[in-house]
Chains A and B, each alone.
Chain A
Amino acid sequence: MNIVALLRVVPDVVEELEIAPDGKALDSEFLRLVISETDDHALEQAVLLKERLGGTVTALAIDAPEIDETLYGALARGADRAVKTGDAEMNLSARAAALSFAAAIRDLGPVDLIVTGAQAIGDLDGLVAPMVAYYLGMPYLGTVTGVAPGASGKSATVIREFPGGVRGEFDVPLPAVLGIQAAEKPPRYVPVAKVRAAMKSQSIATCGVATAAESGPPVVEVLSMAKPEPSGHAQMLEGDPDVLAARICELMGARGLL
């Protein structure tokens, strides 16, 4: 079974995000890019399937600064190939990213299953995965939490979880694109030595860069970005407990709470 895991990096929200001086993008000076969490789960699910059923895993990523680190990490985790596509300089829209992925997948040869994160913090609508499916003419299922390919390899049983504690099982013909919500097991830790060994012994290929012409000119433009204005502040009261108690009663009375 040949599986492709699609990976993208997103801004690390552990760092405080700053807006660039032009007010239209994130300031890249302090920006730290990390693999999107759900993509990490998709990669883990791909490696788990490979360990269970054999086959190959290809980690395919949209090029970005320091993407090599992520791809070597994927190799160290058990991927057989690491490929990057797209243009690191272009801040790709969901459509452009999907086109790049689709172009690269066509170059990669036969594929049975494509997994990627159902959503990413840069793609909250979860557009990329279904678009890849559309461009490749494959079925798509999102918010997936479990995959069990059938014995014939022609279809897979897919588990999805819905709000309200409902779980559904679906049968999907292969090849298909799956948007992974969570892998069966949390992504494993990859020791540094293994990543270093992957860096020494393996390399990253580039393929299928979609041209700007293919994706067309951007039709949506960023007007401005800003931090949300805080809507209200907590008021801190200080002082003698008796005075404070009276003040609290007064405030609550004024708000009709007493």
Chain B
Amino acid sequence: MPEGEIARPVFYLLPVWMVALFYLLAATGLGFFFYGAWHRVRRYLRGRADDQAVFTWQGLVRGAAAIFPNRTVFRDDPYAGIAHLCTFWGFAGLFIATILVLVDNDFLRFVLPEWQFLKGTFYLVFSWLADLSGLLLLAGLFLLASRRLILRLPFLRYQARPEAVRLPSPPALAREDWLFLGLLVLLGMGGFLLEAFRIRAGGPEFERASFFGWQVAQGLGSLGLSPEGAQAAFPYVWYFHAVGALALIGWIPYSKAWHMLAAWYSVAFKDHAGAKRLPAPPEGDSGGYGRIEDLTRSELVMLDACTRCGRCHAHCPAASGGFPLSPRDVVQVLRAYAERPAANGALAGGVVPESWLWSCTSCLACVERCPVGVWHVPMIVQMRRFLVAQGQVETRVGETLQSLGRYGNSFAASPRNRAKWTQGLGFKIKDARKEPVEYLWLVGDYASYDPRVQEVTRSAARVFERAGLNFGILYEAEQNSGNDVRRIGEEGLFEALRDKNLKVLEKARFEKIVTTDPHTYHALKNEYPNGRPVLHAVEVLDELIQNGKLILEKTLDGPVTYHDPCYLGRYNGIYDAPRRVLAAVAGEVAEMPRSREKAFCCGAGGGRIWMEDVPGVTQRPAESRVREAAALAGVGVMAIACPKDLAMFQDALKTESLEGRLAVKDVVELVEECMSK
């Protein structure tokens, strides 16, 4: 480097042996990195091939749009968003800076010295940006560490797990979390210290571009560090920083730091929509996930994308109610298992205990909240499928499945009584098997058989009739849609129910399907080969009110609140139609703190409504939910749009002694109330 040029000598003040040793260490660090990375990729390739294309250009664009602004991290946690964005861009800036030095010093210097670019104005801008990146990194890390040290966020702590689940131990996870954070802090601070020593050792005036390093150098000077002292200490400070950086690089593929790469994949190339429509079980006799090789390659990458941020855990109705399930633990255990399958025995029912798997309500809050695109629910269902194939289901679930297979409903009731609810309506509902209708109404089990829900079903029939809807039902030929059967993991029974329903649908003449049941809605819309539109009753009501076919004579006193059913909201994105209907009947919808995408499950989904209570439960999801609604000032009605909600919340009102305070009513009942003066 010519005298007086604006640039920085690399390996400044370092003896030759130190430079040589550095290259040796660099090779070792990179060796560790590539060996670990190769190991991981090889493990991914042992997984099952994905059934969808993995790489897509849309995915790349979607991924960049989500990852560069850290959008998924920001969502519902701006603090974490800012902290991570600072860390992300700080780290990215320093990473790019390091790459530039590498290219300039270790490549161009030997090959094309006239192309070297780290000099002059570019060098000044480079220095300034690198300092900014370092500051961003440290600021981000400070915010992140505060979440653990000062805010002590409860979902960042790991609970003790049952004896049988050995790996990974919660203290080991916590140690890794701190090691990651600590290494980054060490690197950020070490970098500035190194810069300051270099400047103090005789850095020229233009080094002021390294604005923060310059200040640290001044600080060191005022602390009594002489330029000679800085020169003497410089090689050691340099080594401290270099070894730290290489240690981090080498450690990345062996730790959660790997999320820097794995999350790119899961965020970019895996769409949440895929988690809503359950994938087929793996080929073969296992029926589901019994071994780690049964997981798809994408799922294996997803496990590695997890940073244990705890959002799934915090939003899980099972985890927050004291059920023995934490979606985060499922991911952690699967990941540890993927690393050492031989040491751990069976997967479903073994390292992932049955009690965890059966606690899931399939509400999708975990998938929805996950910033790195992990599909907890499909993996849980795949493991359930394995248990079901082994005949490992609790007695009551077995009886319910048997009833569904034999009678087509979960009530062990005669199919001939399916349309008994129509008695006393005062008019006859068309039989869609015999005459053409515009709307084919698939009623669903709870709406047909549960005496409490039957009143709502009759209300829907009266409203449809008064609005002049041309609709019919299938009477005793309808069977349960199989949505929850599928989520229990009984794929064979789901297929049998689906095929029986499709056979009947084939013969009926109709244009659209309507239902009051979000579970039926989801199955018909997304998991049946059905080409015709599927509408939930609230969508039909919304349309009827908008086009003036349904006339409201009065409005209710006072605001109502609305509970988003999982299979209508998170699964299908129907948030606005029910709110528009409620705004028309009640003037105002008071929102609960957990609403729309963040709505809290009633606890019935995924077949949980057919399962026994779990010992140790501190608060059933439905109880937590009615308390949340009752806490809203001036709200006396919680509107719902799912027959299972009615059953769950009415029970919860009783156990929470809120019967006088809050009423649970279906949207359709409120509409009917307002249709007459």
Residues of A at under 8 Å CB distance from B?
12, 14-16, 30, 32, 34, 77, 186, 188-197
Contact = CB atoms under 8 A, between A and B. Distances in A.
10 contacts: A12-B406, A15-B414, A16-B414, A189-B391, A190-B391, A191-B492, A194-B391, A194-B492, A196-B492, A197-B285
B447 interface: no
B293 interface: no
A183 B491 CA distance: 28
A195 B402 CA distance: 13
A194 B407 contact: no
Nearest to B387: A191
Contacts of A197: 285
B391, B395, B416, B490: residue with the most chain A Cβ atoms closer than 10 Å: B391
Given A189-B393, A193-B492, A14 B413 contact: yes
Contacts of B287: 191, 193
A191 to B, nearest CB: 5
Nearest to A34: B406
Contacts of B416: 15-16, 30
Interface residues of B, number: 25
B397 A189 contact: yes
Contacts of B491: 193
Given A14-B407, A34-B406, A192 B493 contact: yes
Interface of B: 285, 287, 388-389, 391, 393, 395, 397-399, 401-402, 405-407, 412-414, 416, 490-493, 495-496
Given A14-B414, A30-B416, A189 B492 contact: no
A46 B389 CA distance: 20
Nearest to B406: A34
Given A14-B412, A30-B416, A189 B398 contact: yes
Contacts of B391: 77, 188-191, 194
Contact of B395 (A30, A186, A190): A186
A69 to B, nearest CB: 10
B389 A194 contact: yes
Contacts of B412: 14
Contacts of A189: 388, 391, 393, 397-399, 401-402
A57 B285 CA distance: 22
B496 to A, nearest CB: 6
B256 to A, nearest CB: 37
Given A14-B412, A15-B414, A192 B492 contact: yes
A191 B395 contact: no
3 A-B pairs closest in CB distance: A192-B492, A189-B398, A193-B492
A12 B414 CA distance: 10
Nearest to B393: A189
B388 A191 contact: yes
Contact of B495 (A14, A15, A32, A192): A192
A251 to B, nearest CB: 29
A15 B406 CA distance: 12
A191 B493 contact: yes
Nearest to A13: B414
A39 B395 CA distance: 18
A189 B393 CA distance: 7
Given A189-B393, A190-B391, 11 more contacts: A14-B414, A15-B416, A30-B416, A32-B406, A34-B406, A77-B391, A188-B391, A191-B490, A194-B389, A194-B492, A197-B285
Contacts of B398: 186, 188-189
Contact of A192 (B285, B399, B414, B490): B490
Nearest to B496: A192
A12 B406 CA distance: 10
A188 B388 CA distance: 11
Contacts of B407: 14
B167 to A, nearest CB: 30
A220 to B, nearest CB: 31
A16 B415 CA distance: 11
Contacts of A192: 405, 490, 492-493, 495-496
A192 B416 CA distance: 23
A238 B493 CA distance: 47
A190 B405 CA distance: 11
B665 to A, nearest CB: 27
Contacts of B413: 14
Nearest to A186: B395
A192 B412 CA distance: 18
Contacts of A190: 391
